[in-house]
């Protein structure tokens, strides 16, 4: 009986020790890793959130933000902003997808701004149908490289690049603007690519 009682005590002690290890491991969470996405992938995530805000929400602008570690050669970015308008409300709202990490980075996932007034007849905020987005930012980058961009990236492999997707009211088509620079003001080159066909449209600068 004494041997049996001793075995029970030892077994209980071992069980208690082993069960505490997973609890300790659970408290040590792995550090978050940065996530990068092409424009179309990030857009789809924000589109679902925008439809939750307004059932008739339609996009009029998608823009990436350049960060030094982003694989821009793959048409990817760690931060994308999409602006949507609601014809019924005559209001607009911006949604942000972030895959960045760091003290100054927006929290990973989807966030959004406050509502703002919106004029659906404004040519600069002309909404477009999601079905027009048939070409992703990675393909747009490839086209831009073949039409002048490669000269810049060969000189500077770390050349900043960001992307804008919006509607061209004059030509009545959806365009990717591949911009070589950190902002539009300091851009060295801007290439317009048809977002529906993937064809080169023009050099904008």
Q: Is residue 198 part of a domain?
A: yes
What is the structure's pLDDT at 55? 96
User: Which positions ≥6 away from 106 have C-beta within 8 Å?
Assistant: 79, 96, 98, 100
Most confident of 10-24, 27-41, 155-169: 155-169
Which of 191, 181, 166 has its CA nearest to residue 62? 166
Higher pLDDT, 29 or 114: 114
Q: Is residue 114 part of a domain?
A: yes
Number of structural domains in the chain: 1
What is the structure's pLDDT at 9? 41
What is the structure's pLDDT at 3? 44
Is pLDDT at 14 greater than 50 in this prediction?
A: no
Q: Is residue 141 part of a domain?
A: yes
Beta strands in 1-57 (DSSP E): 37-38
Per the structure, the complete domain to which residue 100 belongs is given by 37-203
Confidence (pTM)? 0.84
Which of 41, 60, 81, 76 has its CA nearest to residue 166? 60
Name the pLDDT band for 7 (thresholds 50, 70, 90): very low
What is the structure's pLDDT at 27? 52
Supply the Cα-derived Rg of the chain in whole angstroms.
Answer: 25
Contact 163, 63 (CB under 8 A): yes
Q: Is residue 106 part of a domain?
A: yes
What is the structure's pLDDT at 136? 98
Segment 89-107, tens digit of pLDDT: 999 999 999 999 988 888 9
Q: Is residue 43 part of a domain?
A: yes
What is the structure's pLDDT at 8? 43
Q: Is residue 22 part of a domain?
A: no
What is the structure's pLDDT at 103? 86
Segment 150-199, tens digit of pLDDT: 999 999 999 999 999 999 999 999 999 999 999 999 999 999 999 999 99
Distance, in Å, from the CA atom of 59 to the CA atom of 46, rounded to the nearest integer, reads 10
Work out the burial of residue 30: count CB atoms within 10 Å of its CB; fewer than 13 is exposed, 13-18 middle, 19 or more buried: exposed
């Amino acid at each position: 009986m004494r041997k049996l009682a001793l075995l029970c005590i030892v077994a209980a002690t071992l069980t208690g020790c082993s069960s505490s290890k997973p609890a300790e491991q659970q408290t040590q969470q792995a550090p978050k890793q940065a996530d990068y996405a092409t424009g179309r992938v990030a857009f789809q995530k924000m589109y679902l959130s925008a439809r939750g805000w307004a059932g008739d929400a339609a996009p009029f602008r998608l823009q990436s933000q350049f960060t030094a570690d982003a694989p821009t050669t793959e048409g990817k970015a760690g931060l994308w902003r999409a602006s949507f308008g609601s014809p019924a409300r005559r209001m607009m709202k911006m949604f942000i997808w972030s895959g960045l990490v760091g003290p100054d980075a927006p929290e990973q996932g989807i966030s959004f701004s406050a509502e703002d007034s919106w004029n659906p007849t404004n040519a600069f905020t002309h909404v477009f149908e999601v079905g027009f987005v048939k070409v992703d930012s990675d393909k747009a980058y490839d086209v831009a490289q073949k039409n002048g961009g490669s000269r810049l990236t060969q000189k500077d492999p770390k050349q900043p690049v960001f992307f804008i997707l919006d509607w061209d009211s004059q030509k009545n088509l959806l365009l990717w603007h591949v911009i070589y620079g950190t902002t539009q003001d300091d851009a060295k080159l801007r290439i317009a690519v048809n977002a529906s066909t993937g064809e080169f449209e023009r050099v904008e600068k």
